[in-house]
């Protein structure tokens, strides 16, 4: 089990590095799918099979396919990749990434400060999760329902193409 975890976390980090350095959006999306699948394996090795299944089905399956469809609708071709290559000069990315990695180093030092705790290997079953979800967290489930409803209405309203057909009396 630890070996599974180490291999999949290395794959997740490498695939994420590939995501933020690709020029073509479709390549980045496919690497991100690989990264999400590796994170699903991490969840499985931590004893969270329900979260692993949701990661594969919703993140890698639904959200990434939505991104892929939008990328296909926008018809971003070779010209976009060339423009990205032009934008991604070292003088652009070296400052922000150095600062981000300084923050990462600080966070790792802080995380390594307390003494290490071994993870207990026990599976949190989907039954436990759903009992707790529909028991004590029921109000949060209803709020998430509101949020999803708002998301649907907002996406349908924003994504609508406005027709420019005026009434025949208003046409000049």
Residue number, 78 or 103, with CB nearest to another protein: 103
Please give the span between the terminal C-alpha atoms of the chain, in angstroms, as a whole number. 73
Binding to another protein by residue 1, rule CB under 8 A?
Answer: yes
- Chain centroid, CA 40 distance in Å: 12
Binding to another protein by residue 77, rule CB under 8 A?
Answer: no
By CB under 8 A, name the one of 82, 85, 97, 142 that touches another protein.
97
Q: Smallest distance, Å, CB 129 to another protein? A: 4
Binding to another protein by residue 30, rule CB under 8 A?
Answer: no
Binding to another protein by residue 61, rule CB under 8 A?
Answer: no
- Chain centroid, CA 81 distance in Å: 22
Binding to another protein by residue 42, rule CB under 8 A?
Answer: yes
The position carrying tokens 């991100």 is 32
Binding to another protein (CB under 8 A): which residues in 150-169?
A: 150-152, 154-156, 158-159, 161
Q: Which of 77, 97, 99 is nearest to 89 (CA)?
A: 97
Binding to another protein by residue 142, rule CB under 8 A?
Answer: no
* Interatomic CA distance for residues 64 and 74, integer angstroms: 15
Binding to another protein by residue 82, rule CB under 8 A?
Answer: no
- Chain centroid, CA 133 distance in Å: 23
- Count, residues near another protein per rule CB under 8 A: 82
Angstrom CA distances, 99 to 91, 103, 104, 171, stand at 14, 6, 9, 57
Binding to another protein by residue 68, rule CB under 8 A?
Answer: no
Q: Smallest distance, Å, CB 118 to another protein? A: 4
């Amino acid at each position: 089990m630890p070996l599974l975890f180490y291999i999949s976390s290395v794959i997740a980090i490498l695939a994420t590095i590939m995501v933020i350095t690709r020029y073509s959006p479709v390549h980045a999306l496919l690497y991100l799918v690989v990264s999400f699948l590796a994170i699903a394996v991490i969840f499985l090795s931590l004893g969270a099979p329900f979260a692993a299944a949701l990661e594969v089905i919703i993140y890698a399956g639904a959200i990434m396919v939505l991104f892929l469809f939008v990328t296909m609708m926008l018809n971003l071709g070779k010209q976009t990749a060339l423009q990205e290559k032009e934008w991604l000069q070292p003088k652009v990315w070296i400052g922000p990434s150095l600062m981000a990695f300084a923050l990462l180093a600080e966070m790792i030092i802080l995380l390594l400060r307390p003494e290490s705790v071994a993870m207990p290997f026990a599976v949190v079953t989907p039954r436990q999760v759903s009992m707790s979800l529909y028991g004590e967290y029921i109000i949060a489930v209803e709020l998430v329902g509101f949020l999803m409803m708002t998301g649907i209405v907002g996406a349908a309203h924003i994504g609508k193409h406005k027709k420019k057909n005026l009434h025949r009396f208003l046409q000049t």
